[in-house]
Structure 1
Amino acid sequence: MNVKINPWSSSSIQDYSRLFDDFGISPFNDLIPEIKSPNRYIRRNIIFGHRSYDLVIDAMNNQKPFSVMSGFMPSGKVHLGHKMVMDEIIWHQKMGGDAFVGIADREAYSVRGISWEMCRETGINEYILSLIALGFEPEGHIYFQSESQQIMDLAFELGVRANFSEMSAIYGFSGETNISHMISALCQSADILNPQLSDNGGPKPTVIPVGADQDPHIRLTRGLAHKMNMFRIEKREQNNGNFYFSVRSKSAPSEALKEIKELAPGDAKLFEGHVDVYNTDDFNDLLETVRQVELEFGGYSFVPPASTYHRFMSGLQGGKMSSSSPDSYIALTDDPESSVKKIKRSKTGGRITLQEQKELGGIPEECSVFEIMLFHLVEDDRELARIHQECSNGKLMCGKCKAYAAELMKEFLVEHQQMRENARERLHEYGIKE
């Protein structure tokens, strides 16, 4: 692939399937039949990959605790790309997840040089208001990194388990990288693990919905979660071909191992630094026992975080969507009339001439207008399929399609911006002070 993706300056991704091999991301398609009431990002294969999301599906389907967490760096306008993540958070919240949203002001300060005052203003007036307007419920948790002592304390502890070589390999840090930038990356890991702290209900599956450029944060945090835990469990084979489990101490006190011996299912034997458990096939029961003992002895017992990855939207003029090019994106705070103009100026998958369009049909897969409808504007799958078919067979012309999409976008922005004003009056319900 010859691309080092990182959260701050990755190249565009041309072949998402390469991420499966290059970064160990698993394809999402096989999981879709197991998901009740899938959202449009799932139904339409916009979410293309995952890590450990099967744990979250099991929790959703069996009414077990799980969390959803993601964050936003307050460095500019909130746009349709951010809306995708917000929609995914809100959907998981509706499916029973405890929802967490972090405003990454420490990252914005260290990476972009944005003042603390501007971080807070942008965080509230752009991101938080839109998040609430889209349907985020007050039972969720919204916080600024710089105002959370819990995040700072956890980031400090995680830093003991991280080193420069590892972070350089993941993020591409060099000798020119400032220290605060590195610390902000640890804050991201603390954000991701925050839902599993005892104050937030303890260990549980937690999904982080992100674009593929944020995967370095997931990889670092999954590694740190393993390192922070006191135990690891290994499945081993005996000479007679039977299997047993060995609970190995990484940093646990000897008393914790003794308790695991007493509580473990099956026949347990205590050795120096480990407990071997025989005559049990119930790995989940053993895992829960180990987790409870670790918590009792002051550990974290983190469940390595799960993640989902969605495809990026292309820019309205083709190529990448860029915050430095306002015509390439639609912000949720844009004047609705300006969004109409942007859509009508956007790149389509139409042919050079009207006659060619009628004869050959358009190419919706290469059309930024169809993409906006696919990602955001048309909820009904049958309606979307109709538009795709009529474009492909030459029945629907680009001008009419643009006008339809522009009207839908205008209606959405008018309604959304009214909801944003209503959300401002509800900030206190979420513990946010302007």
Structure 2
Amino acid sequence: MGILLGILVLSFLIIIHELGHFLVAKAFKVKVNEFSLFMGPKLFSFQKGETVYSLRLIPLGGYVKMEGEEEESEDERAYNKKPVGVRAAIIAAGPIMNIVIALVIAFIMMAQTGFNTTQVKTVLPGSVAENAGIQVGDTLEKYNGKTIYQVGDLEVFAYPLTNESVDLQYERNGEKQKVNITPNREQDGYMLGFTPKDTANIDGSESNVVAEVTDKSPADEAGLKAGDKIVKLNGTEIKTRRDISKIVDQSEKKEITITVDRAGKIQDLKPITPVARKTSEWKAIGVEFEYSKGGFINTLKASINYTISTSRTIYYSIGWLFTQTVHLSDLSGPVGITSVISDVVRLSPSLMDKVINLLSMTAMISINLGLVNLIPFPALDGSKLVLLLIEKIRKKALNPEKEAMITMVGFVLLIVLLVYVTYNDVLKKILHL
């Protein structure tokens, strides 16, 4: 069921993307020959006006086929006959549609669940924040000069940092104030690197059963697998996740031997050393934030902030790839994304949690799809916009053969990247079977 939901989410978002192209093309009277839901062999179709609407076999994606888009056409309503500005609007409409739908989803989600503000609710005693003079009611605004749109931004900003000090700007009674602080990022306990099957029950039943193992974690190194039931740590009997946390924290950096019940067979895994769990940046600073729910304007503002924040994080992540702060092997393709959606739905304890988490994942992936498409890489919408800008500057279109060659090269590179990330996704799944 989760895998099916993952496929449907990806298909929905790609269709939304193509719908953006379609609606703007129609608005500017461009002739659209076909609007297709999904890819592959055609299952059935019907024609309304000049456009054929089709449903195809493979439930992934879709496309809009405009007259004069891929080859020259003399039709006055052809895409190639339209001014540069019109063509740019049509191309940009797909990514913009993805960002708009993410904003709508975020609004629906936050209207239901509420959201954290950046106003300080609590200053933890003896914390860095207390020593710096930060008070309850202060609103955090900037971290090292970067605007804080939502609380999660603190974790993003701190991700590449270790023990560095930071400049924190906050607002108090309408006045801006700045402090330089060094967050206390000492480890917040230790961990093995797995997600328990059941975290919903108060008694912790089945929370010693493994639902998922984190890649490259100590648990992964030990050979722990989804479905394993952890029955002992260093010979001590385990019944709940609390038992696991207690023993792991006490052991600190000493080796631990995990004993599991795997399909009825008791076995010891390879001894491993727990890793330190990094302290959340808000806790390292020493503050907790107000929570808000209700009000159309406040919810809309929060959903806009979420969209801006997520967009910025995506571009940070791309930059981290080049600086090797994150590795190319961490990228996920359709298989990995579908798997993540499936896991998020499967691990959510209640129906409402499943819906909210699915909405959250859908909004984040939609923003990803929109922004990545705006990157000026051959075959993506961003490169088409760059070519249109060049055409506007040169006062004439690029040679169709050269444009086709650029698109083909980009397409081949994208296919290579897709094959690579799909290989990574499949390999990760195989290793965790």
Shared fold, TM over 0.5? no
TM-score by length of 1: 0.24
More helix by share: 1
TM-score by length of 2: 0.24
More strand by share: 2
